[in-house]
Amino acid sequence: MRMRQRALAVLLGALLLLVAGCSQVPASTTPVVVGNAPDGPSGDQSNYYEIQPDGPVKGDSPDTIVRGYINALATSDPTYEVARQFMTTKASKEWQPGASTSLIDPAYSVQPSGKDGVVNFSASRSATVDSDGTYHAGAESMTDVYKLEKVAGQWRISNPPDGIVLTQSSFSNVFKVASLYFLDPSGTRVVPDLRYYPVNPKQRANTLIDGLLGGPSDSLAPGVRNEVSDPVKLRSGVLYNDSEIKVDLTGLSGKNGAQLKALSAQILWTLRDLNVKAVRITNDGQPIDVPGVAAVQSVSDWESYDPDAVPVDLSVFYVADGRVLNGQGAAVAGNAGTGALGVTSASLSVDGTEMAAVGTATGVPTLYVGPAGSDLVPVALPDTVSLTQPTWGAANDEVWMVRNGNTIVRVPTKGQPAIVTPGSLGDISSISSLRLSRDGTRVAMVATVPSGSRLFLATVVRSPDGVTITEPMMLSPTVEVTETAWSTARTLVVFGRGPVGTRDVPYSILIDDSSRTQLPAPVFTARPTAIVAAPNRSLVCAGDGIILKLTESTWVSLISGKVVSGKSPFYPG
């Protein structure tokens, strides 16, 4: 591909330094986008590369023009000035590059059709990014027929398809992942919604706020609230300097204090993508009055909305000999720690105050629930044959599990059990594992379909009529999965094996399926039985009847100096 790369760094808004070089993706992993490059308050972005491709050359053949056009799409220029040079004037004016982005295999084909000015394009597409930045994984073939006309004796494209096509490596260079934050139904936690936007530091803040105004993605929308929605609009472009960002909105006059707090949390969490320290939000040019918060807000004002909030003294627990033990190997207080229940799996609420356990002391799987540290009491679930490990969301007042392989049940700590009826389970025949996100808005599951055991993700929908989930979406369809857990609100970890794999390895997977990274693998003789994770905590797994934790890149015993026998480890959540 013919192009020049110029590394641009803006220092104090005045000094431009040219730095030669190119970014590299580590060969040991295969993420689509590797991390977030930090943005400064003035819009600077470390490792930001302005990619400037070459334009057409006099005498280029039609197929060379099409190849040059496709290469020219891999640019950080939002106007696509060079790509338009390969088009007729009329086509350039009508072309809509922002319609969508197709990620294609680099071995695409551009071939003359045999007719003058007609070129056939074909490629394997791995994913599509919508105009709103939403990523959709899905392998399929794509074809286009390019028609060219001669302009001043040179071939030019007259029918460029709306949208752009990029190889995955080019996509990683010119697009960057962001998290827009919406609200859980209670309005007390923010929920991430991943988007991919072209790398353009000067417009990044405007792009993020516009994203909030556009609302959540279709898959998340049924499960969240949005205070940054109609009639709220940007009154003027987002302004920033080295000390603060100013977001001038209109349409806030009808919002009360609680709504302004929620709106502020959404905006501040979303602008964290820019490493911003201070934000001033105004309505029609006047500072908004947020109860208990200064006119210039900081991210720390809204830490309570953290979707990954967990107790500071968070510890891992596990099951051994029918008892629940803590990470030091000591039994928990109450009957869950005595062996009387015959515990096979258990879980703690996100805040650590409630516990649920599945026990078999009565001869059939029985759910027990109660305050952590106290005796748990049985919950009547008639005709139960099997129960998955319980899981808690943000509310801390209800626990979920799967009963008899295909019935999702939620059990309030005060109230009667209820069945969670999904809109559709598609081809799913049974569910072996269920995990609520700690913000309570999503649920991950390991389920059996005709192709095998796969990872699925759905949105939790709460309404006055009850609680349901959206139709589960399969993630990483080529990976056979045995177990999953939430690492953060954006990331799942799984044990699985690929289409040519012979052993299970852990992967980290973004919730939109845009990135999958292999992690160091433990060595077991049999298939691992569990993996658990929590924000800023070690991965913990179970297999061969023992418990291990990941320390840097090495799996070691959960307790130093001894073999820890056990199963079903869990963090709160």
Could you please report the per-residue DSSP string of 186-212? TSSSEEEEEEEEE--GGGHHHHHHHHH
**Inside any domain, residue 371:** no
Residue 287: pLDDT above 80? yes
3-state secondary structure 338-375: CCCCCEEEEEECCCCCEEEEEECCCCCCEEEEEECCCC
**Residue 450 gets which letter from DSSP?**
T
CA–CA dist 68, 57 (Å, integer)? 9
> Which tokens hold the place of 546?
């023992």
pLDDT at residue 265 greater than cutoff 80:
yes
Q: Look up the domain containing 100 and give its range.
A: 32-43+54-175
Q: Could you tell me if 470 and 459 are in contact, meaning their C-beta atoms sit under 8 angstroms apart?
A: yes
Report yes or no: 393 and 460 within 8 Å, Cβ to Cβ: yes
Establish if 3 belongs to a structural domain.
no
Higher pLDDT among residues 374 and 78, named by residue = 374
Nearest C-alpha neighbor of 3 from the set 169, 180, 135: 169
Over residues 471-476, mean pLDDT: 95
pLDDT in tens, 113-123: 989 999 999 99
Q: Do 352 and 421 lie in a common domain?
A: yes
Which candidate, 229, 202, 216, places its Cα nearest to that of 132? 216
3-state secondary structure of 171: helix
Do 434 and 526 lie in one domain? The reply is yes
| Residue after which a domain boundary falls, among 175, 210, 240 | 175
Specify the amino acid at residue 525. T
> Is residue 53 over pLDDT 90?
no
User: What is the domain-level CATH number for residue 122?
Assistant: 3.10.450
181-230 pLDDT, tens digit each: 999 999 999 999 999 999 887 789 999 999 999 999 999 999 999 999 99
Q: 399 and 540 in one domain?
A: yes
Q: Is the pLDDT of residue 36 over 90?
A: no
CATH number at residue 528: 2.120.10.30
Q: Is residue 27 part of a domain?
A: no
Report the DSSP beta bridge partners of residue 136. 128
pLDDT reported for residue 313? 79
Lowest mean pLDDT among 12-26, 340-354, 362-376, 423-437: 12-26
Is 14 a residue whose pLDDT tops 50?
A: no
Report the percentage of the chain scoring pLDDT > 90.
Answer: 82
* pLDDT reported for residue 44: 38
What is the per-residue pLDDT for 32? 28
- Give the model's pLDDT for residue 43: 36
Give the per-residue pLDDT at 90.
98
Q: Does residue 365 belong to any structural domain of this protein?
A: no
- pLDDT score of 16 more than 70: no
Verify that 156 and 247 share a domain, yes or no.
no
Phi, psi of 403 (to 5 degrees): -105, 130
One domain, residues 554 and 442: yes
Same domain, 541 and 403: yes
Nearest to 189 by CA among 358, 305, 316, 18: 305
Is residue 130 one of the residues assigned to a domain?
A: yes
Last residue of a domain, one of 240, 272, 305: 305
CB neighbours of 439 closer than 8 A, spacing ≥ 6? Answer: 184, 189, 190, 191, 307, 308, 393, 394, 489
Whether a cis peptide bond, with omega within 30° of 0, leads into 231 is yes
Q: Residues 117, 223: one domain?
A: no
The kind and range of the H/E element at 432 are strand 430-436
In a domain, 151, yes or no: yes
pLDDT of residue 200: 81
Question: Tell me: the pLDDT tens digits for 502-552?
Answer: 789 999 999 999 999 999 999 999 999 999 999 999 999 999 999 999 999
Mean predicted confidence (pLDDT) in 445-469: 96
Same domain, 185 and 139: no
- HEC string of 77-105 equals CCCCHHHHCCECHHHHHHCCHHHEEEEEC
At residue 488, the pLDDT reads: 97
Q: Using CA atoms, how far apart are residues 400 and 420, in angstroms rounded to an integer? A: 9
Would you place residue 51 in the very low, low, confident or very high pLDDT band (cuts 50, 70, 90)?
low
Higher per-residue confidence, 28 vs 481 = 481
pLDDT at 177 over 70: yes
Last residue within a domain, chosen from 132, 159, 175:
175
The token duo for 230 is 């109609």
Does one domain contain both 544 and 420? yes
Mean pLDDT of 353-361: 97
pLDDT of 500 higher than 80 = no
Question: pLDDT digits over 303-336, tens only?
Answer: 999 999 887 777 899 999 999 999 999 999 999 9
The mean of the pLDDT values for the chain is 90
Regarding whether 168 and 121 lie in a shared domain, the answer is: yes
The total number of structural domains that make up the chain: 3
120 within domain boundaries:
yes
Q: Percent of the chain at pLDDT above 70?
A: 91
Q: Is the pLDDT of residue 394 over 80?
A: yes
Residue 23 has pLDDT above 50, yes or no: no
Q: What pLDDT, on a 0 to 100 scale, did the predictor assign at position 31?
A: 31
267 φ/ψ angles, rounded to the nearest 5 degrees: -65, -45
Whether residue 167 is found in the same domain as residue 182: no
Per-residue pLDDT band for 15 (boundaries 50, 70, 90) equals very low
Q: Which range in 3-7, 35-39, 260-264, 474-478 is most confidently predicted, on average pLDDT?
A: 260-264
Residues 398 and 537 in one domain: yes
Q: Cβ(263)–Cβ(252) under 8 Å?
A: yes
> Nearest Cα to 222, choosing from 24, 408, 423, 72?
423
Residue at 16 is within a domain = no
Tell me what pLDDT residue 50 has: 63
